[in-house]
Structure 1
Amino acid sequence: MEFFMLILCFIASILITPLVKKLAIKYRITDQPDHRKVHKTLMPRLGGLAIYISFLVGLLIFRPEDPHMIYLVIGSLIIIATGMLDDIYDIAPKYKLLGQVTAAIVAISGGFDLEFINLPFGGELQFGYLSIPITILWIVGITNAINLIDGLDGLAAGVSSIALITVSFMAFLQGDMFVLTIAMIVLGSTLGFLVYNFYPAKIFMGDTGALFLGYMIALLSLLGFKNITFFSLIIPVIILGVPISDTFFAIIRRIIHNRPLMAPDKYHLHHRILNSGFSHRQTVLVIYGIAVMFSLAAVIFSMSTVWGSLLILLVLIFAIEIFVEIVGLVSKDYKPLLRIMEGRQAHRIQRRKRA
């Protein structure tokens, strides 16, 4: 049944995307090239509408029954409306944030909230009133993280698909059929759109698609891993390692350089890999590979003991920091670990010379 859901939504998305493309061209809902963007020609956006319509087709046919369903649909509708307004009218960031927070509050009203976690060495941590702001921060953060990596053809759709595959697999292992069903419907819709969005793209998903995918992944990961152990809470963070780390270091970068947190720049992960000499297609495939490694790490992490999980987490943090310093994700001069390693290497060489 799950495979049939995937195929049906995939076909629906393939059929609907060209119609949305014509609509975007007809009403001039297009993305203009500029100094920040990689594409050089006028591109139709609003492709996320095709993903959303295919998603609705899946819901109407398979009708997953769950108390969370109505809130998920209403919240996603608010997100889609927010994304479409931005794609059409280029609304101010504060209005986009308002739409995201409203959608997050709808989700919380439907039970998508993080109330407590079981601590790894015993005991329980209740969030109380903090559960609402923590949940809003999670939903809005992941929604924007997917939006921030939407800078190359097929990048956001591909990374989101990898995350959805991982969430689906783990939902299957846990026997969570609602999360599995929704994840497969969104996955099929996204993969069908990716046929037109992979390099060279014929249509962009725009904020309509990026915000929708971020919102859905945030809700599914929250629902799939809520109110369990501290380490289980880290699993969706690892699955979304690419967009989360890119967003985190973008914030660090802007703080260091005294720039507004919402100010755009050309120092995101895909920009830095492009500047390293990789082609557009190669850069996207490299980031896909990184996303797959994060997903595999999340699966292994979920099956490890507490100490094994700690070790995996430390290795991941170290690997991310080294990679960030190599590609210059914060700045060209930010290389604390690399300098320490180079200093130790130089010290060893001097000791050998003295010996």
Structure 2
Amino acid sequence: MIDAGLFLLGLGGFFWGGLATPLSIRLARSYRILDLPDARKIHTGQMPRGAGLVLWTGYLLWALYAVAEAPSVRFTALGATIVFLIGYIDDMRSLSPFLRLGLHLLSSALAVLPLGLPPLTAFACAVWIAGVTSAYNLIDGVNGLCISLFIASSAGLAFLGAAPVGVVMAAAALGVLCWNFPCARTFLGDGGSTLLGYLFSAHFLTAAAPTLRGIGLNELVLLLLLFGGMPVLDTMIAFSRRILMGRSPFYPDKGHLHHRLMGLTGSPLWAVVCLVLMQSASLAGGLMVYARLS
């Protein structure tokens, strides 16, 4: 039996994502917020990259609806706003990666502090949120990939007792996906991709906090790795590879998992399918571990 309230939330989120995205495209074109082609990118023309604006405003609307029953959403909404705005500014002019990292850590602390976690657990979780925030940005290199991974991850929140926020976030992202996949008419931009990483990781911790308060560090690390999934794995591999090559870990290249899968399959579509399946498997493993620990 489908819950009517969840269905309406999902429907509202989907239509918001689908109908507001054309407005964000016009805004991006007007203010020249465009992704330009270069040697490490697969698109060949100028692409508006303001779709994150749709997801940010949609999330804030949901937060206004949910704040009466979940007061801590104020902190998550503030953190999400910081993450989105710093990314949106970076879409217009390049900012220092250290400035972005510092603000991501601040936003992560805002999400973690209300949860009442033990100090070491809280520290690890704040670092994890900042890492996932950046990881979703780094893996956003193929049409539909970042959004599809976010949809799969948000759907997993339903199994942790956070179905309303999981449904509305996944539905809004699905509405935006219609404009980003398979043929993109807009990109998320740094503002959008980092926002997705932040929203999933922050709401995962909010939902899982009662269990996280009573587990050891080893179990915590395993859970965070499994729920971080492919974006976190890709980031760890990319950073390790760049450091071993004597480069900055922030140096962009074409050695990400999606690049390698496109080389193996010869198709961006199959690269997305493979990574979404791998993400789903990682989430399923995380849910199994979580169920045993709860």
Structure 2 length normalisation: TM-score? Answer: 0.90
Shift of residue 152, structure 1, vs aligned partner: 0.5
- Distance in structure 2 (CA, Å) of the matches to 1:200 and 1:64: 40
Aligned pair count reads 285
Quick one: higher RCO (CA 8 Å, sep 6+), 1 or 2?
2
Q: Which of residues 215, 219, 242 in structure 2 aligns to 1:229? A: 215
Structure 1: gaps spanning 5 or more residues = 116-127, 172-178, 307-355
CA contact 1:144–1:211 (8 Å) conserved in 2 = yes
Say whether the 8 Å CA contact 2:36–2:45 is kept in structure 1: yes
Separation in structure 1 between the aligned mates of residue 265 and residue 140 of structure 2, nearest angstrom:
20
Q: Where do 1:1-355 residues align within 5 Å?
A: 1-63=5-67, 65-109=69-113, 111-112=114-115, 114-115=117-118, 128=119, 130-131=120-121, 133-171=123-161, 179-225=162-208, 226-230=212-216, 231=219, 234-304=222-292
Q: 2 CA distance for matches of 1:40 and 1:95?
A: 30
Q: Residue type of the partner of 1:284? A: V
Deviations 1:246-296 (A, max 9, x none): 111112211221111111111000011111142111211111121122222
Q: Matched residues in 2 for 1:48 and 1:206: separation?
A: 7
For structure 2, the residue ranges without an aligned partner over 5 or more in a row are: none
Cα RMSD for the two superposed structures = 2.1
Asked if the contact 2:91–2:191 (Cα under 8 Å) also holds between the matched residues in 1, the reply is yes
Offset of 1:235 from its aligned partner?
3.1
What's the offset of the Cα at 1:107?
2.4
Look at both structures and tell me which one has the larger radius of gyration over its CA atoms: 1
State how far apart, in whole Å, the 2-side matches of 1:58 and 1:240 are: 24
- Deviation for aligned residue 1:71: 0.7
The 8 Å contact of residues 66 and 73 in structure 2, kept in 1 or not, is answered as: no
Amino acid at match of 2:202: L
Tell me the percent identity.
Answer: 29
Does the 8 Å contact 2:18/2:176 carry over to 1? yes
Classify 1:152/1:64 alpha carbon distance in 2 versus 1 (closer, same or farther; 3 Å): farther
Pick closer, same or farther for the CA change 1:49–1:139 going to 2, 3 Å. same
Shift of 1:58: 2.7
Deviation at 1:100, TM superposition (A): 1.0
Tell me the alpha carbon deviations over residues 67-113 of structure 1, each in whole angstroms, 9 at most, x when there is no partner.
3121111111111111111111122212212221221232244x146
Q: Return the alpha-carbon distance in structure 1 between the equivalents of residues 53 and 293 of structure 2.
A: 42
**Would the alpha carbon gap of residues 235 and 254 (structure 1) be closer, same or farther in structure 2, given more than 3 Å must change?**
same
Distance in 1 of aligned mates of 2:204 and 2:214: 12
Distance 1:303 1:113 in 2: 21
Change (3 A) 1:7 1:20: same
Q: CA shift at 1:184, angstroms?
A: 2.2
Q: TM-score, with normalisation over the residues of structure 1?
A: 0.75
8 Å CA contact 1:114–1:222 kept in 2: the answer is no
